[in-house]
């Protein structure tokens, strides 16, 4: 007698609804989950570069570029990890521009072109690279310029609809709205008044933020891809099943691989118009002064954007310190 077929894992089910991306610099761990794409950031690369199994990679990059400053060496390290990741995944890797340049459009464009040139020197087609830029006004302006030159961008540290709308207007290839960090902010704000029952699941503030962006993009015909990011638990991920892409840490990918409960589609472009009408959302004004005012008036987005840039700067400096040893 044949045994009953085993139930598909939640990860396998999710992959049928959404493009799954690995959010890590630890390319050895991501292999088991067979993601389409992968994302890195300074914090993830710093974490990976400190692991013993990657010391030979770090040392080989240092040996190949003697005498250059730790700041310049970081670019080569980022690309070295990206190259290894590209051997594993069929799709794209995201590599981040130094967060210190988040308010300098010209310098951001120059750094992005340098990173692309490094990848292309290894025979990598630029279509397989997404340059990660902070969702500041200056970062979005850089994305507009880079996209016009065929360099695709992943707009990160994105916490608000106005950031998302401006990225869409700039023709950015992809945005990464942060789910968990939004939830963290509201959880801290509410304190004892936070309830996992009332503020979790479909009502999770990070989840509802991405849903709003999804509906805005689909209703107004914005081609920019939406990739939910920065998840704290699998519930947040499953509530966004149907999003264009979701980038997920190895720890949460492992949880999804172990789970077998049914996964249903939660985001559908067909529902966009009704959702926007219910929330009374209209096209946003996106000139510079309007953008800055709308972002300023969103305390959560303002605080989390500033904090994110600060922390990426700190981890970039830690990585420079590691390479200087």
Question: Which positions are catalytic?
Answer: 132
Angle at 26 between CA 30 and CA 262, to 5 degrees: 35
> Closest by alpha carbon to 7, among 318, 262, 224, 314?
262
Phi, psi of 35 (to 5 degrees): -75, 160
CB 30 within 8 A of CB 250: yes
Angle at 228 between CA 114 and CA 101, to 5 degrees: 30
The rounded distance, in Å, linking the Cα atoms of 129 and 127 is 6
CB 100 within 8 A of CB 134: no
The rounded distance, in Å, linking the Cα atoms of 65 and 184 is 40
All residues at 6 or more sequence positions from 145 whose CB lies less than 8 Å from its CB, including other chains: 105, 109
């Amino acid at each position: 007698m044949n045994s009953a077929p085993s139930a598909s894992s939640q990860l396998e089910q999710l992959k049928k609804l959404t493009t799954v991306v690995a959010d890590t610099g630890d390319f050895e761990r991501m292999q088991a989950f067979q993601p389409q794409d992968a994302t890195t950031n300074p914090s993830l690369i710093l974490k990976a570069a400190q692991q013993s199994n990657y010391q030979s990679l770090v040392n080989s990059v240092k040996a190949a570029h003697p005498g250059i400053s730790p700041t310049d060496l970081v670019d080569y390290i980022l690309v070295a990890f990206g190259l290894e990741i590209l051997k594993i995944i069929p799709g794209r890797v995201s590599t981040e521009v130094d967060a210190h340049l988040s308010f300098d459009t010209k310098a951001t464009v120059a750094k992005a072109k340098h990173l692309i040139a490094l990848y292309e020197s290894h025979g990598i087609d630029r279509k397989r690279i997404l340059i990660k830029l902070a969702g500041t006004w200056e970062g979005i302006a850089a994305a507009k310029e880079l996209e016009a030159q065929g360099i695709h961008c992943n707009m990160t540290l994105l916490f608000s609809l106005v950031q998302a709308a401006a990225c869409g207007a700039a023709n950015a290839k992809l945005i990464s709205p942060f789910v968990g960090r939004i939830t963290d902010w509201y959880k801290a704000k509410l304190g004892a008044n936070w309830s996992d029952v009332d503020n979790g699941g479909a009502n999770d503030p990070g989840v509802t933020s991405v849903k709003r962006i999804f509906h805005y993009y689909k209703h107004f015909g914005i081609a920019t891809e939406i990739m939910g990011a920065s998840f704290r638990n699998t519930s947040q991920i499953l509530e966004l099943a149907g999003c264009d892409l979701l980038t997920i840490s190895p720890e949460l990918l492992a949880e999804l691989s172990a789970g077998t409960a049914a996964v249903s589609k939660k985001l559908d472009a067909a529902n966009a118009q009704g959702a926007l009408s219910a929330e009374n959302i209209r096209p946003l004004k996106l000139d510079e002064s309007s953008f800055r005012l709308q972002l300023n008036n969103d305390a959560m987005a303002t605080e989390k954007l500033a904090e994110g840039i600060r922390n990426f700067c700190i981890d970039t400096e830690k990585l420079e310190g590691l390479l200087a040893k």
